[in-house]
Structure 1
């Protein structure tokens, strides 16, 4: 029996990366506004924000060599509202811990409230985290506390995921499959 390495994790936030805040119609991908106007009604009834998500992201996310995991405050609503809109299967959801004594310390240091939970969930496994609120404090903390490679990729919340973001993620994830034992947090992304 061949022992195949597990795919890296991709922790995906919704608000900002998938639901852009403030993109103009000209900044949205070609054809997206027309798709949205033709197909938005059922999704809008579930949650009106879903219609701001580019449905073409679903196939692109599925094509990445990783295990997708929702890392969002949407919790189970991510699978009920967002996954169907994107054509994704039901995905695992990070179950956020209750606030702890370390949350006050994290607030003072600038550490994002998700960071500790994602490192715990990864348990040494390579992971990429896509969010619009990642800071240098998060990158330093992950580098010091995570035993595997990690990419903390900040997305511009005004635009959401772009072709450039997918390029960065795809390249980093493919490199993990080629050299799964390398350690460290990848250099800052925008």
Structure 2
């Protein structure tokens, strides 16, 4: 196992996390000529994320497109990508019963016991409770506000947790 493999993971969502959905954007307004939400990306975010003591991993429905469309716009190299399994009806029913986000189980499986941070705008208490009960490593499930996306305070919280891990 390399030193890189020993670092905590940081599972990173895109929509609502890196691309805010609010009316008041911190960066360029929505480009109405191309209807691209990508103009809402903060080009400085990648530098801040890359400086964190962790291994960044895309945990988004963008999957591989996060590397071609998002990463270059925020200054990140290509990152590993979580590829989502096809849902099973039994698993979906159980997750709905427990109010789990559909990403929760696959991320715990992907982490394989390594400590991780999951940054998303859709995390809830049920996800936190389930991860605490089913993941042997440390985990920080950090919910960001979709209207503003990830901000300095979020990055400071994540960095503090990673340094303590």
Task: Give TM-score scaled by structure 1 length.
Answer: 0.80
Point out where structure 1 has 5 or more consecutive residues left out of the alignment.
Answer: 177-190
Which of residues 85, 97, 108 in structure 2 aligns to 1:97? 85
**Paired positions, count:** 161
C-alpha distance in structure 2 between counterparts of 1:48 and 1:81, whole Å = 11
Report whether the alignment pairs 1:156 with 2:158.
Answer: no
Report whether the alignment pairs 1:65 with 2:65.
Answer: no
C-alpha distance in structure 1 between counterparts of 2:23 and 2:49, whole Å = 21
**After the TM superposition, which segments of 4 or more aligned residues of structure 1 sit over 3 Å from their partners?**
none
Deviations 1:83-120 (A, max 9, x none): 11011110000011110221111012210000000000
RMSD: 1.9
Report whether the alignment pairs 1:19 with 2:19.
Answer: yes
**Equivalences for 1:2-81 in 2 at 5 Å?**
4=3, 6-25=6-25, 28=26, 32-33=27-28, 48-81=36-69
Point out where structure 2 has 5 or more consecutive residues left out of the alignment.
Answer: none
- Between Structure 1 and Structure 2, whose CA radius of gyration is higher? 1
C-alpha distance in structure 1 between counterparts of 2:37 and 2:62, whole Å = 12
Deviations 1:21-65 (A, max 9, x none): 11414xx1xxx43xx79xx8xxx97x8111111111010011111
C-alpha distance in structure 2 between counterparts of 1:23 and 1:139, whole Å = 29
**Equivalences for 1:141-152 in 2 at 5 Å?**
141-152=130-141
Task: Give TM-score scaled by structure 2 length.
Answer: 0.91
Q: Is the 8 A contact 2:44 2:75 kept in 1?
A: no
